Amino acid sequence: MLFVEFRFLFFFAAVLIVHWGLRWNLARKIWLLLASYAFYAGWDWRFLGLILFSTLVDWVAGAGIHRNEGRRGIQRAWLGLSLAGNLGLLGTFKYFDFFSETAEGFLNWLGVGASLPVLNLVLPVGISFYTFQTLSYSLDIYFGKLKPARSLLDLALFVGFFPQLVAGPIVLAKEFLGQLDSARTRAMVPVQWALILFFVGFVKKSCLSDALSPFVDAVHAVPGAVDAWTVWISAFAFSCQIYCDFSGYTDMAIGCAALLGYRLPTNFNAPYLGKSVGEFWKRWHVTLGRWFFEYVYVPMGGSRKGAYRSLWNLWVVFVLSGLWHGAGLTYIVYGMIHGAFVVFERIPAGQFLRKLPGWLQTVYMHFVWMVTMTLFRSPTIGEATTIVSTMLTGRSGPAPEAGVVPPVPTWMIPTLACAFLVHVIWQTGQLERRWSEASPITFGAIMGAAVALAIPWISTNPAPYIYFAF
C-alpha cells in the first residue's frame, strides 16, 4: 500500500479515527502497532517476522547493555548481539548474493574456479531503514545517551511505526521513545501544517516524479544510443524525479505522523539550493547522514585524530552510505566519488570553489550530482560509463528507432519551473506559515482549490517509490 494510493486514504482515515477515539495511551499504542503491522503485511506478511526479530534482538540487547552499566566488556558483547542480529539480517537479505557473486567473479578472474552459493532472497521492503533504527536504540544505550524503552510495546512501535517504516526518515530511538511516554493530545497536532505537508508530498510523488519516470526509463533502456542533449535532459529529469519521489514520501510520512500526534525529524532541507557537494549532503536525506555521523564517523574518531584521519573517516562514511543504498558496485562507486568530492572541497586545493559566485557553486553541485546519479540509476558500471561518456564527450551511438525515447513533454517545463519556484519560496517559511496559520475556512478553500488543481496532474502510470528498493 503506497501513500499515494486511494486505498491508503481509507486505511489512514480508519487509523486516525480509531486512534483519536481511544482514550488510553496504551490502547492507542497497541492500535498503532497493529495498524503498522497490517500496513507492512500489505506487502508481504512473511517479512513481519524480520521486524519482530529485529525488535526482540534489540529489546534483549538494550536491556543487557543497561543492566551491565560499568562493565564495558559485557556491554560490548550485548552490543555485538545487536550488531550481529541487525547487520546479519541486512547482510543476508540485501548483501549476501552481491558479495558472493563478486567474490566468485574475482576468484574466477584469478583463475581459481569457484562456485559460491547465492540465496536469491527477495529484499524485504524497508529493511535498511528499520534495522538502522533498531541499531540506534542499542547504540544509544551503549553510549549512555538513552535508557531502555519502558516496554517492548514502545520499542516495537518505534521500530514499526508505519509512517516511517518502509522509507524513513530514519528516526533515532532517543527522539521517538519519549513521545510514547504520555498520551498525545489533539492540541499537539498541527492539523493544517500536517495536511499541507501530506498534500505537498503527494503532489511531488504523483504529479511530478511519476510523470518524469517514463522519460527517464526510456533513456536508460537504450543507453549509448541517445544524443548528449537528451541524456542531459534525462539526467536533470532524474534528479527532479528522485527528489520529488523521496522527499515526497518523507513529507507524507511526517504529515501522517503529525496527524497522529508524533513528530518525525526533517529529512530534506532544500538540497538543490546547496552550493557544494558537502552542503548538499547536509540537506539531502538528513537522517541517514546524521545516523552515519553519530554511529560511524564519530566512533571512528571523527575529527579528533587529525585532519588526514578526519578526511579518511569522511570518505569511508560516504562509501558505506553508497553501499547502504544498494548491493551493487554502482552504489559503492557512487559513494566513493561523492566522498572524494566532499574530501576535495575540504582540502586547500578545493578551496577555490568557495570563491566562485554563489550561483556557479550551485551549478557545480548540480553538475556533480547529475553526472554521478547515472551510477545510482544504472544497473551496471558499464551502462553508467556509457551514459556519462555521452554526457561529457557529446558522442553517442546510432539514434534509436523513432518513438523509443519519448520527447520531454513540454508541459513538464513550466510545471517544473513552478515547482522550483514554490520550492524556493517554501524555504523562506513564509508560504508554509501563512497557509498553516490561515483560518479554517480560508485554509479549507485553499486546500479545496489546490486538490482540485492537483488531481489532473496525477500520473496515470504510477511508479513504485525509488527508495523502497533500499
Judged by the rule CB under 8 A, the positions of this chain that interact with other proteins are 207, 211, 409-411, 414, 439-449, 451-453, 455-460
Q: How far is the CB of 207 from other proteins (least distance, A)?
A: 8
Q: Would you tell me the crossing angle of helices 25-44 and 6-21 to the nearest 10 degrees?
A: 160
Q: Of 19, 220, 285, 325, which one is the catalytic site residue?
A: 325
CB-neighbour burial class of residue 470 (10 A; exposed 0-12, middle 13-18, buried 19+):
buried
How many Cα atoms sit within 13 Å of 435 on the Cβ side?
A: 22
- List of residues 6+ apart from 296 with CB closer than 8 A: 316, 317, 320
* Annotation says 423 is catalytic: no
Q: Which cell goes with 208? A: 511530478
Quick check: 328 and 239 in contact, CB under 8 A? no
Q: How many helices (H) and strands (E) does the chain have?
A: 22, 0
Measured distance CA(76)–CA(70) in Å, rounded: 11
Question: Residue 415: which H helix or E strand, with range?
Answer: helix 412-428
If you ran DSSP here, which 8-state letter would residue 2 be given? -
User: What are the distances in angstroms from CA 142 to CA 47, 63, 88, 151?
Assistant: 28, 10, 19, 18
Q: Which residues are catalytic?
A: 325
